[in-house]
Structure 1
Amino acid sequence: MKVRFYRILQKQLHRFGIYTIYYPSAKSIHYHLKSKQIIVQNYGLGKLSSSIKASNNHSYYDSLLQKFVPSWKLDISRAFFITESGGGESSLNTFRKVRVDSHWLFEKVYFNSCNDVKRIKWLDKHLSIRLLEFGIKLPELHWTFEGEAFTIAYFDFFDLHNLTSFEVENDLLEIVKRLYQVSEGTTLIKNKYADIEYLNDFINHFEYKNSIKTAENRFLKHGILIKEFEQKAKKSKFIITHGDLHEKNVYKGFVVIDWDNVGLYPIGFEVAFIYYRLLNSGRINNFSPEWLENKFKNTIQVNDWLDFERNFFYFLFIFYSKSYKIDQYQTIEGILIKKLKSYSHHIV
């Protein structure tokens, strides 16, 4: 009866240019989705949460979280949706700034079907203090509440201050250098955690996964086997890697946020990702193969340099291959291919 009345009212309001959104109760949504496959639940909740965010309906959102995560019991006195944050495939696009007791926290809802929650828990337990010792500031993970479909996580909320255009490249590279130093100074990389798949699976990193097919076709065009370089990367040193370092995740004072993709990736991976983003955004105007040596020769150990350099040019080729339609691509591809052929033993 309520739904029928709402439909009639909605139709009449539309005549006056007033548009409304009808939300079934949280109980109805939970009943409808709980027996569905997780991927269906994620999709349904993702669409619904975007509408909730647009309408700024916190009470409804809270009741939805409570239904899907019964253990979630938090006394939130104030809450704001963060409208400028982007969403990803691994979470709801409804990030919030919430006040609990006298503290402001950042709330994020992760899908359990992804590995992000495992990674941030690992980071918080095993690396966060070590990173602070090296001057890398990151939000502390305070609580997680786990349901069947998703997990609600709470971090420190930082007042962030953007880097100037002159600071972006230098600060990004300084973070990478410090991560390399942390990797060199801790035994956990070489021992207990090196074989954990969700930490070292660079093949499924979002940028690699989205670029590999195009890159493979470009490789074959030049008579190079992509698997040769992929295997060499797998056999090279794995180091602590943020996984998504760019100017929207690094702020003044070496504050680094959004560690969802943290892992142990091949040396050179992160630097290639950063250089690709800087090149693509126009922060670096002209591609230069000498850039790597100029920036890192005094940081990377001699016995790591060959793997570092080869992996850098390989991953840069992978990431940049999606840009094959832009004017300068052919020139850059030619330089990268020449470099990669110098490392290859299998020319088709």
Structure 2
Amino acid sequence: MSTKDAPMLDATLQLDEGRLREDSGRTPETADVSAIYDRSVLLMQAAAVGADAASGARESGWKGDWLVLLQALCKLTVTQASAGDPAPLFTAERLRQEIASLVGDPEAQWWSDESDTARKKFTNAWRALENDIGRIEENLCGRAISSRVAGIVTLSTPTRLGTTNAMGYGLSVSPIALPATAAAEPPPITNAPVGQLPANCPIDYLEEMEAYPIPGLKKPLKISLSGWRAALITLPVVIGLAIAGLLSWFLLALLASDVSPRALLQAAVLTGVIGGLVAWLCHPFYTLIHDRIVRAPTFLEARLPLGHVLLIRREGEDRVLRMVRYTATCPVCEGEITIEKGRRRLRGRLIGECGRNPVEHVFSFDFITRRGERL
């Protein structure tokens, strides 16, 4: 085994609370021991949230080696942090072995192989993780708040392990503010029998990572609507109204002319088709302006999982247009809930539909509070 890919140094922190004095004769710093234990517990909890977020993103169809690398790093960190290590580090070889166990054959051979190709694959995945971990930050925060964990995982700077040439890769914790706990929270209902579920079945939606809908452009769909950029939203509606006016003038001109009834009928049908197409294209923009949120067009999801929305919201002092995806876990069957257009009596609303039973397991959707209830 090369020095570069040496296995992880087994330097598990030992907390010997049975001794009253250290070998030097001094009293142990119990406050330091308690602080180390608290950091280990918080790291373990945050890493568990990170592993669930990465796993959920992969199950939702998101691609990228950096996601499986994050999942492997979080899983290993949970194990080491639970043993009392507040800052565990892992070599590239150990991480590649864990990734191979996660992805399974035949992809595992690309990770577990000792060739230069496998090492380069890991290096590229780590660089992508450094660049893209911000895409999953909202999801991490939502999951951490739901689990009452006061921090989310961030990447530590790779450091050398001891006197070897091997680099150690690890995680740290970025603290977050937890909202005050409500006086009377509803009891957990995820695993409750169907007959005992509350009538409203409250659920919490999680905001997933930002979407990159345009092939070849590694940027999320984020448009600032300050100044003249606000016209990007209103311009399609204005153009649609102008086309509707021209079509109306065209029909009125035909009615006032001496064309045959057959030609007039053909012109009316053609005008109706064009008008319907323009209305279909402009209606999402009108809904977005009016409701601040609309179901994302399907052509933007050609390479992405379904269930995205376009929404206008404030971020700091600016109003921005974003394309995001909200998901939740169905309290009835534990399926994945995504946002879709309402049907029948729910027409005109965005609702949460369960992937297992989209007809019966239907929930409301509030994109401000990110909560919903069964409909």
TM-score (norm 2): 0.24
> Which protein is bigger by CA-based radius of gyration?
2
